[in-house]
């Protein structure tokens, strides 16, 4: 009888030990993903919506080599901004969907919710920051001007009384007028940075606005305009043996990831961009795309 009691005692002890171990194991696994074993992340509501959807929708350029360019043969996107967008999607564990945007369409698509963010050589300005959030800049460029060599234009001074092609919705026209005023080439009379409108500006230089860069380049070749002004990195694809940049570059342009104002996704993106700048990830993307 004593042997039976001893056996039962040992068995009960063993069962209790197994139960305790199972409980500990269960607690240790709390907060982990049951499928992968990875820690479950808590996201802001709008970020979680992207995760649940399984797709990050990004507005990008499709004709700016080095930043956002879609290969016409393979339809694949390449460039600095493409790499950054893909890495954001990787952080979220979702697929990515690119939408080609222009300076005139990118904010409308962001406001409507058709895209989650914009990485499209989008210059950060105080005015724009009133309507959208921007990440810390991942690249800084400058505005300049491209001309046909036959025009003989080599500087800002040569643009006096000329017509310049710019992209609708861009800041290039205002930057050019500011530089020409500061250089003493045109009058500042009537110039107000807050209300400047390239379609009505006629003092010393005029502007023609277009929906996309290829159309501006074609207009330059056809003689419809005398010059093409935008960020130098964008102009690079349109520079040929018969064209040249003027000697002046002006108005530093900081590019940032644009997201909806006050969104949780804004904070999420900002943390990623600042971390990737610090650890050299962004610098690596810049080098890969020959933008140094």
- Walk along the chain (292 residues) and give the pLDDT tens digit of each residue: 444 444 444 444 544 443 444 444 444 444 433 333 335 689 999 999 999 999 999 999 998 999 999 999 999 999 999 999 999 999 999 999 999 999 889 999 999 999 999 999 999 999 999 999 999 999 999 999 999 999 999 999 999 999 999 999 888 999 999 999 999 999 999 999 999 999 999 999 999 999 999 999 999 999 999 999 999 988 988 999 999 999 999 999 999 999 999 999 999 999 999 999 999 999 999 999 988 7
Task: Report yes or no on 7 lying in a domain.
Answer: no
Q: Which of these, 89, 73, 64, 82, lies nearest to 233 by C-alpha position?
A: 64
Sorted by sequence, the CB contacts under 8 Å of residue 67 that are 6+ apart come out as: 61, 79, 80, 81, 120, 121, 233, 234, 289, 291
- The Cα–Cα gap between 58 and 131 comes to 18
Same domain (yes/no): 132, 271: yes
Task: Report yes or no on 19 lying in a domain.
Answer: no
Task: Report yes or no on 147 lying in a domain.
Answer: yes
Same domain (yes/no): 115, 195: no
Same domain (yes/no): 160, 241: yes
Task: Report yes or no on 223 lying in a domain.
Answer: yes
Task: Report yes or no on 29 lying in a domain.
Answer: no
Same domain (yes/no): 234, 146: yes
Same domain (yes/no): 241, 260: no
Same domain (yes/no): 120, 147: no
pLDDT (0 to 100) of residue 33: 39
Task: Report yes or no on 33 lying in a domain.
Answer: no
Task: Report yes or no on 213 lying in a domain.
Answer: yes
Where residue 261 falls (left for φ over 0; alpha for ψ -120 to 50; beta otherwise) is: beta
How much is the pTM?
0.74
Task: Report yes or no on 22 lying in a domain.
Answer: no
Domains: count for the chain? 2
pLDDT (0 to 100) of residue 39: 53
Residue 18, helix vs strand vs coil: helix
The CATH number linked to 267 is 3.40.190.10
Same domain (yes/no): 218, 146: yes
Angle at 52 between CA 87 and CA 276, to 5 degrees: 20
Same domain (yes/no): 134, 274: yes
Number of other residues whose CB lies within 10 A of the CB of residue 80: 25
pLDDT (0 to 100) of residue 52: 97
Q: Dihedral sign, CA of 172, 178, 179, 184?
A: positive
pLDDT (0 to 100) of residue 166: 97
Domain coverage including residue 173: 142-253
- The Cα–Cα gap between 115 and 85 comes to 12
Same domain (yes/no): 69, 151: no
Same domain (yes/no): 151, 83: no
Same domain (yes/no): 158, 205: yes
Same domain (yes/no): 58, 69: yes
């Amino acid at each position: 009888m004593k042997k039976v009691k001893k056996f039962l005692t040992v068995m009960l002890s063993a069962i209790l030990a197994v139960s305790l171990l199972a409980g500990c194991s269960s607690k240790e696994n709390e907060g982990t993903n049951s499928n992968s074993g990875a820690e479950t992340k808590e996201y802001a509501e709008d970020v979680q919506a992207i995760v649940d959807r399984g797709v990050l929708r990004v507005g990008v350029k499709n004709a700016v080599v080095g930043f956002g360019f879609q290969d016409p043969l393979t339809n694949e996107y390449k460039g600095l901004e493409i790499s950054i967008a893909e890495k954001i999607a990787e952080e979220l564990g979702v697929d990515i969907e690119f939408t080609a945007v222009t300076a005139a369409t990118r904010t409308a698509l962001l406001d409507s919710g058709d895209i989650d963010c914009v990485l499209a050589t989008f210059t950060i300005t105080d005015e724009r920051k009133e309507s959208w959030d921007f990440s810390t800049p991942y690249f800084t460029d400058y505005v300049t001007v491209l001309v046909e060599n036959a025009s003989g234009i080599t500087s800002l001074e040569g643009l006096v009384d000329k017509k310049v092609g710019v992209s609708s919705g861009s800041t290039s026209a205002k930057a050019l007028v500011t530089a020409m005023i500061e250089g003493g080439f045109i009058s500042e009379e009537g110039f107000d940075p807050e209300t400047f409108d390239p379609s009505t500006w006629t003092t010393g230089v005029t502007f023609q606005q277009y929906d996309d860069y290829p159309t501006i380049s074609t207009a330059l070749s056809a003689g419809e305009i005398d010059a093409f002004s935008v960020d130098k990195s964008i102009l690079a694809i349109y520079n040929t043996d018969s064209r040249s940049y003027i000697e002046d570059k002006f108005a530093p342009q900081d590019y940032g990831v644009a997201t909806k104002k006050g969104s949780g996704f804004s904070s999420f993106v900002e943390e990623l961009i600042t971390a990737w700048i610090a650890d050299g990830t962004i610098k690596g993307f810049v080098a890969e795309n020959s933008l140094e």
